């Protein structure tokens, strides 16, 4: 299992609802969550070893959100 963290601009439940179908389509991801209480809105992604971090960033971009690896 591998864990990646990203700083995002996902700030509320509505934003989470918007990205959910996009992130759930990624087969490498087993679990993900966004800490909206953190000022950096940290997205934590857990999944198989070798998760493609660029694929996560690109998937969020398609949904209209920004992410950068931390």
pLDDT at 69: 96
Averaged pLDDT of the chain: 96
pTM: 0.94
pLDDT band of residue 63 (cuts 50, 70, 90) is very high
Domain 2-69 has what CATH class?
Answer: alpha beta
Burial of 26-56, coded b for 16+ CB within 10 Å and e otherwise, reads bebbeebebeeeeeebbbebebeeebebeeb
Mean pLDDT value of segment 18-44: 97
Tell me the domain boundaries of the chain: 2-69
pLDDT band of residue 40 (cuts 50, 70, 90) is very high
**Rounded to whole angstroms, how far apart are CA atoms 25 and 38?**
25
């Amino acid at each position: 299992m591998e864990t990646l963290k990203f700083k995002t601009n996902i700030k509320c439940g509505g934003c989470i609802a918007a990205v959910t179908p996009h992130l759930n389509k990624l087969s490498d991801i087993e679990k993900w969550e966004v800490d909206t209480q953190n000022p950096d809105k940290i997205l934590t992604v857990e999944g198989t070893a070798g998760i493609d971090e660029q694929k996560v960033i690109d998937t969020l971009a398609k949904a209209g959100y920004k992410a950068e690896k931390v």
